[in-house]
Amino acid sequence: MVTHYPTATIALDVSTLFVIATCISSLLGLFLLSVWRQERIRALAWWGAAYLLGGFSVALWSLEGSGLPLPSGLPNALLYLACGLIWSAARVFHGRPVLWVAMSAGGFAWLLASAFPDLMAAASHRVIASSVIISIYAFLTAFELWRERRKALIQRWPALFVPLLHGIVFLAPVPLASLIPDENGMLSLATGWFAVFALEAILYIVGTAFIVMTLSKDQVLRLQRSAASTDPLTGLYNRRAFFEGAPQLKAAQMRKREPLAALVFDLDHFKAINDRHGHFVGDEVLKQFASVISTSLRATDLVARFGGEEFVVLLPGSVDEAAIAAERVRNAFEEAGRQVGTHAIGATVSVGVAAGDPSGDVSVLLMEADAALYRAKALGRNRVIRALPGEAGLAAAETVPEMPPVVVTGIGLGTSQADAAAWEEAHAAILWSAHADDDPQLGSAVA
């Protein structure tokens, strides 16, 4: 004898799902706020507040009809405000300002519509309006994350997929509403979708929390790496970061079989500027030059401060192209350095330029550019000089007399003209005697 058992069906109880969603949202909100207090990442505070507000709004929504004197439409309005907070959290995370009006527009629009009972009397109108508002904020959140796709924080597709799926699920009733003109049918559709909404909302809340924590962890690590590789005064790369990034630029030039160039910059009379105006003004001059060099060169060029008033650049291109870039920086800084704050400085920079095979040693390329920089100093400063063949070896072998100390006079920056002329003549003569035939510019300048 065979016993037939009734077929069991699993029904998703909407009320139970919403209670679960409320509890999970509230717990995750408290968790994100506690992490914010430890890490001081502002976006976590926004996300935590959004989760708490969302849980509170669902709790209020479940109390509708219980006799409590709740303003019409308040639970829904708070839910849409929570959606706006999540969008704002994504903006804050990436350093963009909060758009307060847009963030709260969904909630205010619902309150305004609720003030006209005839407008929101139909179930189809309420479902469509609710779906559209939630979907818009979900798509805006996905857009904020998509805008940062070039930043190597994490693989961006999970961060994009979760809010996109959330928006699509909540937008699905909109086209269905137009196919079901009957009010009873629309109510049945809405009731069925409520279970889907509640289940998907739970997955969205948990998934988004994991993504937020992953993004935050990645951001902290990125900031730590940036602090270790960035010059704190100018915001440029430091020496360590320069030599870590150089192999990538070398490899790119080797693949293209194109030359690699180096520029070495040294601010003229920088010690005298510090002595006369103080180190604070000297720091402002350094920051001014960092701003000039950053805006005058390409984003793909590797720019670093090696220390003091010395800056280096590694960039793709021939010596002619590099010299043009160096002259652009020199000319821009000569103009910008005339006045720094309230001080008339007249700061200038000397530049040495070298280029060669990208398969070679970057240190040798820098030595050649540095030797050219010494010639720029010897020939009067505030100029761009190209390296000569084998100049790095010459610079290491020859002994050049020290420049006499700069004397600060009552009129301005000055030097004993006789001493300066003698030093420049001796310095230039050493290099000219070895390379006058190779460099007509040097020969004519010394002569």
Per-residue model confidence as pLDDT tens digits over 339-393: 988 889 999 999 999 999 999 999 999 999 999 999 999 999 999 999 987 665 5
**What is the per-residue pLDDT for 3?**
53
Cβ(315)–Cβ(269) under 8 Å?
Answer: no
pLDDT reading at 394 higher than 60: no
Average model confidence (pLDDT) across the chain: 79
* Bridge partner residues of 303 (DSSP): 313
Structure tokens at 177: 């509403």
Q: How confident is the model at residue 179 (pLDDT cuts 50, 70, 90)?
A: low
Full set of structural domains in the chain with CATH: 14-229 (1.20.1070), 239-401 (3.30.70.270)
Q: How confident is the model at residue 419 (pLDDT cuts 50, 70, 90)?
A: very low
Per-residue model confidence as pLDDT tens digits over 64-102: 666 677 777 888 999 999 999 999 999 998 889 999 999
Q: Tell me the mean pLDDT in the region 41-56.
A: 93
Structure tokens at 334: 């000569």
**What is the per-residue pLDDT for 5?**
47
Q: Tell me the mean pLDDT in the region 36-64.
A: 88
- Three-state secondary structure readout of the chain: CCCCCCCCCCCCCHHHHHHHHHHHHHHHHHHHHHHHHHHCCHHHHHHHHHHHHHHHHHHHHHCCCCCCCCCCCHHHHHHHHHHHHHHHHHHHHCCCCCCHHHHHHHHHHHHHHHCCCCCCCCHHHHHHHHHHHHHHHHHHHHHHHHCCCCCCCCCCHHHHHHHHHHHHHHHCHHHHHHHCCCHHHHHHHHHHHHHHHHHHHHHHHHHHHHHHHHHHHHHHHHHHHHHHHECCCCCCECHHHHHHHHHHHHHHHHHHCCCEEEEEEEECCHHHHHHHHCHHHHHHHHHHHHHHHHHHCCCCCEEEEEECCEEEEEEECCHHHHHHHHHHHHHHHHHHCCEECCEECCCCEEEEEEEECCCCCHHHHHHHHHHHHHHHHHCCCCCEEECCCCHHHHHHHCCCCCCCCCEECCCCEECCHHHHHHHHHHHHHHHHHHHCCCCHHHHHHHC
Which range, 99-113, 124-138, 160-174, 205-219, is most confident? Answer: 99-113
* Bridge partner residues of 261 (DSSP): 315, 355
Tell me the residue type at 49. A
Cβ(365)–Cβ(356) under 8 Å?
Answer: yes
Q: Which residue has the higher pLDDT, 148 or 73?
A: 73
Which range, 37-41, 179-183, 360-364, is most confident? Answer: 360-364
**What is the per-residue pLDDT for 424?**
45
**CA gap 314, 128 in Å, rounded:** 57
**What is the per-residue pLDDT for 60?**
86
**What is the per-residue pLDDT for 174?**
73
Residues 6+ away with beta carbon under 8 Å from 65: none
Percent of the chain with pLDDT over 70: 75
Q: Which residue has the higher pLDDT, 124 or 216?
A: 216
**What is the per-residue pLDDT for 63?**
75
Q: Which residue has the higher pLDDT, 58 or 363?
A: 363
Q: Which residue has the higher pLDDT, 283 or 8?
A: 283
Cβ(319)–Cβ(372) under 8 Å?
Answer: no
**What is the per-residue pLDDT for 396?**
45
Q: How confident is the model at residue 416 (pLDDT cuts 50, 70, 90)?
A: very low
pTM > 0.75: no
Per-residue model confidence as pLDDT tens digits over 276-290: 999 999 999 999 999
Cβ(82)–Cβ(50) under 8 Å?
Answer: yes
Which range, 170-179, 241-250, 418-427, is most confident? Answer: 241-250
pLDDT reading at 331 higher than 80: yes
pLDDT reading at 1 higher than 50: no
pLDDT reading at 32 higher than 70: yes
Q: Tell me the mean pLDDT in the region 9-27.
A: 77
Cβ(406)–Cβ(416) under 8 Å?
Answer: no
Task: Quickly tell me which residue has 């510090």 as its tokens.
Answer: 274
**What is the per-residue pLDDT for 395?**
47
**What is the per-residue pLDDT for 340?**
87
Q: Which residue has the higher pLDDT, 300 or 425?
A: 300
**CA gap 15, 245 in Å, rounded:** 56
pLDDT reading at 6 higher than 70: no
Per-residue model confidence as pLDDT tens digits over 224-270: 776 778 888 998 999 999 998 999 999 999 999 999 999 999 999 99
pLDDT reading at 159 higher than 90: no
* Closest C-alpha among 63, 109, 65, 64 to residue 83: 109
pLDDT reading at 154 higher than 50: no
Tell me the residue type at 323. A
